[in-house]
Structure formats: structure tokens, C-alpha cells
Amino acid sequence: MKTSYIKKVSLSIFVLMGVTSFAQEIDVNLQMRPRYEYRNGFKGLMLDNELPTSFISQRTRLNFNFKQEKISAKLTLQNVRTWGDVKTTATNDKNGVMLFEAWGQYSFNDSWNARLGRQVISYDNQRIFGEIDWIQQGQSHDALVVSYKKDKNQLDLGAALNADTEGLYRDLYVTNYKNMQYAWYHTVFSDLQMSLLALNTGFQYEEPITTDLKVDYMQTFGTFLKYKKNKLDADLGIYAQTGKSRLATNNTSVSAYNIGLNVNYAFTEKVKAGLGYELLSGKDQTDTDDKIKSFNPIFGTNHAFNGLMDYFYVGNHKNTVGLQDFFLKFNYVSDKWKFSVTPHMFMTAADVIDPSYITRTMDSYLGTEIDLVASYELHKNIGISAGYSQMFGSETLEVLKAGNKGLDNNWVFVMININPRIFNSSK
């Protein structure tokens, strides 16, 4: 880390400790999470002329949590690196320190509060809004979120406005969404929980001829239902997308949808099994309509869906033929151990043209992926997890993603999560 960043962190700790006589609660904790990965066909089938790779990445986070009467705040500093990207005799850090979270919250009364600043926005099963904790940098937003909570009901209203700099004149912004507004409502009916989401996202673009700056708005809305009774639990998510989204030089309307269903049954306290299906709409490759028919899980934790090898919707596979995912889940828990086996069968949701015979389409079957994961609690502040995944691809998957299905397309990870509490004071 650069010296200036170390000074800032030290000063922050000093200030927080210095106000303990006035604070109700201060908590400081550290996370160090190195992860080894072996990639041999990760995100796409292995190419004939390429070799697998391996590396270790690491996330280091320092979390400050503060609460006093009606005020609460959080500051999270993080450094993300790949082991070796800074030489051993470096005089500064290539990656530096970034703000993952930096927000303040005020509670007007027992029901209403407002949170302002850099924050995680995560709801339900994280299909539309998620933290994406798997990626080392995570995901957070610069936003204002107003919340209402009473009894079994919660309503969140959020908004964001983004720009690159404190400019003097309007300038094109393409780093992220230009603005965002959403409403999320959650309620509980006995064994059933229900959430409703309405999200509006605006993306800015420049007209190619007039050079005027305009914003296209896309709406995502739907519901998430969760049921749990005795040994059975299930959830259902249904979402649709409308509005406009700019592709190339055309303004095109959006008409897409997503349906996901999971059903699980706990046979014993240690053994649980389930099955599920998800459909993300796509567009036939023979379809000449300008309309976008492919669903985009816009801010979702996509690594948690559709297999751990990230072949679909993790920075890829958007605006294509969509996806159908049939899967089983087997979980076993014993003391400090957890084991899971999850086979997936993938199919397209729309037609793929056969490149050898452009007048006919290919089989919709994309492949089968098997994910094996084990985790162990070494200490209350130390957890270890490891996994192995294997993809058995098809000819259709080769056409969509290139590569060779006949090669050993697999992936391995080993991750250690160290999360000690450094300081805590409650009054």
C-alpha cells in the first residue's frame, strides 16, 4: 500500500477509537481472502492452441462500523491483487486502496431511515441486485436508499446519478449506468415471503450524426416468492424487462423475461436435496427483428447461478440465445464440514444456426456441468473452501463460444477466508 493510504487508515482507526466515550458501538474487523484457481476451460471451452493457467488472487478488507443513537455509518477499505503483480522490492503498490463501502445512515424514527453513499444493494436471491461477493472486488453502488420497516413489511426506495468528474459542461458517461431508480417491497405471510421489485436504469449514449447526448431507459420488474414449512422450502422468481437499450447504432426496444424455480427437501438435519430450473429468454439467430429479447440479470450475483464455471452471464452470454438450466442439488453438513454436489444441464432458450448448413438450426443442448464444493471451519474466524468443476460441452456450445469440447474443460479453486475482529466497543 502507498504510504499516504497507510496514514489515512491509521488516522481513521485513531479517530474511531477516540470517540468511544460518545459512541454506543464501534466495531472494526479485517478480512483477508486469498484464492487459488486453476483454469482449464473456465468461462469458455479450452482452445486447441492454448494451455491452462493458475494464479492466486487476494482481497484484503478493513471494515469500520459505527453506531450512535440515530446515526450509523460504515467504511470499508479494500485492496485487490494477484500475487506477483507487484515485485518484491516495489516502492509503491500497483493496485492501491479503494473504497468498497462508505455510507452514513440516519434513522428518523423506528420505521424510517435513509442511507447515503457507497453501499451494497442486495435483495432476495441476488438474481437482479447482488453484492457479487465471489469476485474479489465485489459490487457496490453510489446511491441514496430510503427504507420503511414496520411489522412484517419493508419498502426500499433507491436512486443514483453517476458522472466521471465534477465537470463544467455535460459530457458523455459510459463507465456505468447514468442513473437508476428502484422500489423494492417485501412482506411475510406466515410460511410465505413475497418481494416486488421495480427497477429503472438509464444508460447514456451519443447520437452518431447530431452528437446529442441521450439516455435510454430499461425497466426490470417482477416478484420473488419464498416458501418454507417443516422440511420443505421453495422459491420462485419471475421478472420481465421492457424499455429501450442501445446496441450499435440503433435504438431498440426490449422485451425479455426470466423465470427461476427451486425446490428443496431436508431429509435429515445433515442431508438436503433439491432440484431447480431457470429460463432466461433469448433471441433466435434467425430473428431479424430489432427488438432485444434476451434477458439481462443486470446487477445480479451471476456466479451463484448457472454453474460455477461462469459460462453464462458473468461478463458474457448477454444479448444472445438465452439459457435454460436444469439442475439438481445435494448438500451434506457434518459438524464443521459442508459438502455439495450440483449437476447442471444447459440448453439454449432460442435457436442457434448451424454454421455448416445455415438453413437449419442446431440441437439446443449446450452441455452438462458438475460442481463439487467442500468447506471446513478451521476456526471461528477462519474458513477453508475448495471446489472442482467439469464441463462436458456440446457442438452447439462450440459454435457459441468456440473452443474444443473434447478437451478437459475443468476448473479448481481453493480459498481461505480469515476474518478476525480487531476492535469492539459497546456502551
Indicate which CATH number applies to the domain containing 408.
2.40.160.100
Which pLDDT score is estimated for 9? 55
Which pLDDT score is estimated for 1? 47
Distance CA 47, CA 402 (A): 8
Collect the ranges in the chain with pLDDT lower than 50: 1-3, 5-6, 19-21, 23, 248-249
Q: Which domain holds residue 139?
A: 3-426
Which pLDDT score is estimated for 12? 55
Nearest to residue 238, comparing CAs of 400, 128, 100? 128
Which pLDDT score is estimated for 20? 47
Which pLDDT score is estimated for 11? 56
- CB under 8 Å, gap of 24 or more: what pairs does 339-345 form? 339/373, 339/374, 340/371, 340/372, 340/373, 340/374, 341/370, 341/371, 341/372, 342/307, 342/308, 342/370, 342/371, 342/373, 343/368, 343/369, 343/370, 343/371, 344/306, 344/307, 344/368, 344/369, 344/370, 344/371
Nearest to residue 34, comparing CAs of 106, 77, 84? 84
Question: What would the pLDDT profile of 276-289 be if each residue is shown by its tens digit?
Answer: 999 999 999 999 88
Which pLDDT score is estimated for 95? 84
> Into how many domains does the chain fold?
1
Which pLDDT score is estimated for 198? 98
Which pLDDT score is estimated for 207? 84
Which pLDDT score is estimated for 10? 52
Query: Three cell numbers at 163?
Result: 458522472
Beta strand residue intervals within 95-230, DSSP E: 98-107, 112-119, 141-150, 153-161, 179-189, 192-206, 213-229
Phi, then psi, of 338 in degrees rounded to 5: -135, 135
Query: Three cell numbers at 300?
Result: 445480479
